[in-house]
A and B are shown apart, each in its own frame.
Chain A
Amino acid sequence: MSNLPTYALHKMSWPEVAEAAETVELVLIPIGSTEQHGPHLGLGQDHLIAHAYCERAAERLAPRLLALPAIPWGISDHHMNFPGTMTLRPETFLDLLEDIIVSMRHHGFRRFLIVNGHGGNQWLMSAAVQDIGFRLDIDFLGCVGHYTLGDDSVLKDIAGEIPGGHACEMESSHDFYLAPDLIRQDALAPGTVDEAFKAMLEPLQDLELVWPNAFNAHAPSGAKGDARKGTREAGERLIESSIDELAEILDHLRHSPRWNGPPHGQVHVTRKS
């Protein structure tokens, strides 16, 4: 059992943070959402799992990673027809990310990885990297969906006939492993798809139209996929293999341009604070 410290900011004292600054290579910023997850998973799914993932990564790769608290809201407008969903404007989310990064930059941390648990955030975080990553005096800003890394072949074994995607096998597996309290065992049910809507949508998407649409139009119960088929073993495989790949990526990044500076600093835009 390693006695290397797991750095998760919300549990640390300030002297511990000062000590962490000596060995931490990358600060993880978990992001997710507060949004409907069908009748069977809690609204906090995406940000709670992203945070648990980052804490686990900080434990396995101690003392090189520092996990920040999660931002609990994301871009969830497409779920707003379901009670309880909350959403941020892109401007708000970008400003929030910037304030978090500059705070930690002030204390000497220069490399940041946004770790995302909600697919709807991918464009926001990509824009954040392109913008914040160039305006601030930092060395590295990256972003990745934790669920895009690692070995997902286990999902092929457990996936039902309806294609997965939301409040699905993958998400219930994550919960069985990391956050069983989020599951409503008695309400687990497969999602249904509105076939008429799907029949209209698919030809347009095949012809490369990008059209974010209301989630309830596509999946009336709020779920897509079959969460009943999730298992703890699958969750463990998904999460741990993802962290394996994260470790590999970290090794690559150490040799990448500008990992140790100089920062780009080429786009100077004055902002009114």
Chain B
Amino acid sequence: MADLPSPLRLTHMTSPEVARARDGVELVMIPIGSIEQHGPNTSLDTDLVICEDLTLRLAERFHPRLLVAPTMPYGMSTYHMGFPGSITLRPQTFLHVLEDCLASLLHHGFKRFLLTNWHSGNTSVMTLALQSLPTRLPLDFLASLSLYDLEDDDLEDEIVKSPTSGHACELETAELMALRPDRVKTDSLAPGDLSPRGSRLRQRFWRRSIRRNHDFSDFSANGAVGDATLATAEDGWRMIDVIEERADQLIMTLLDSPDDLLARGRMPGWRYALHTR
């Protein structure tokens, strides 16, 4: 019998392979993507491919204990809708799709799940999922990891020459150059065209946890922030190395965490217990 394919990527496996892999899988990772403008610099699926690639590489390093489920292609990208091509889901839609995916995988015996992510706009709806879905489904564990949170601030200060960053920026473009150079529009790279008033307000509100219904075009006329023309693949790899080292530490710590403590901390499954819908 042939070895199981590495990484365990559900979309590329046969059903018998999933059956064989099942007992050895300790965590199912679900990459959460987005389809949204990234200025003239990179493709609409930038956040999706970075998340997916980093998740697949992680699964390969921990083979065969991690299984990667299909990537959720859409996230919440409402504030990018001022730019053609962006697609966004309503929170309810996102929650329903994720619930159905989890329920399907639970049906086949998978019980522990980690959402991975690269788009900061997804964190609200992902956390809503983490708060509410364990109350309705008999899963053992559901958490999330936004991989950009593992970036190192000091290294970023060293690498990034742009005064601003955050979207279609120097660092993100560098990381994409490293992982998926075909998605980088090297002939069209441009710095962000920020409106001064817009960026002042954004800064103030981020500091004070106020959110409002801004459109990204209110801050940046071309949708980018910072100067992607300064990005290099070499710098991208330097940051990716840090992300991957920390991600490995997290997975090892998680897989070694005592089952009884994880069970005690699990969000109450109270709706499931009542079988309410």
Contact = CB atoms under 8 A, between A and B. Distances in A.
Interface in A95-119: none
Contacts of A218: 265
Interface string B86-107: 0010111001000000000000
Interface of B: 76, 78-79, 81-82, 88, 90-92, 95, 121, 123-128, 130-132, 134-135, 142-146, 149-150, 197-198, 201, 204, 208-215, 218, 246, 249-250, 253-254, 257-258, 261-262, 264-268, 270
Given A209-B254, A210-B143, A211-B143, A78 B267 contact: yes
A130 B268 contact: no
B78 A208 contact: no
Interface string A121-142: 0111111111101100000111
A77 B212 contact: no
27 contacts: A89-B132, A90-B128, A91-B95, A123-B131, A126-B211, A129-B213, A130-B91, A130-B211, A131-B76, A133-B212, A145-B209, A148-B209, A197-B265, A207-B246, A207-B253, A208-B146, A208-B149, A211-B130, A214-B264, A257-B197, A257-B201, A257-B218, A258-B213, A258-B214, A258-B215, A266-B81, A269-B90
Interface string A233-273: 00000000000010001001101111000001011010000
A207 B210 contact: no
A127 B130 CA distance: 14
A264 B95 CA distance: 24
Give the size category of A's interface with B.
35 or more
A252 B144 CA distance: 35
B100 to A, nearest CB: 14
B267 A197 contact: no
Contact of A123 (B81, B128, B201, B213): B128
A211 B77 CA distance: 23
Interface of A: 75, 77-78, 80-81, 87, 89-91, 94, 120, 122-131, 133-134, 140-145, 148-149, 196-197, 200-201, 203-204, 207-214, 217-218, 245, 249, 252-253, 255-258, 264, 266-267, 269
B209 A196 contact: no
A55 B91 CA distance: 30
Contacts of A127: 76, 91, 124-125, 128
A212 B264 contact: no
B147 to A, nearest CB: 8
B208 A207 contact: no
Given A130-B78, A204-B253, A77 B268 contact: yes
Contact of B91 (A78, A94, A196): A94
Given A123-B128, A197-B265, A210-B127, A130 B146 contact: no
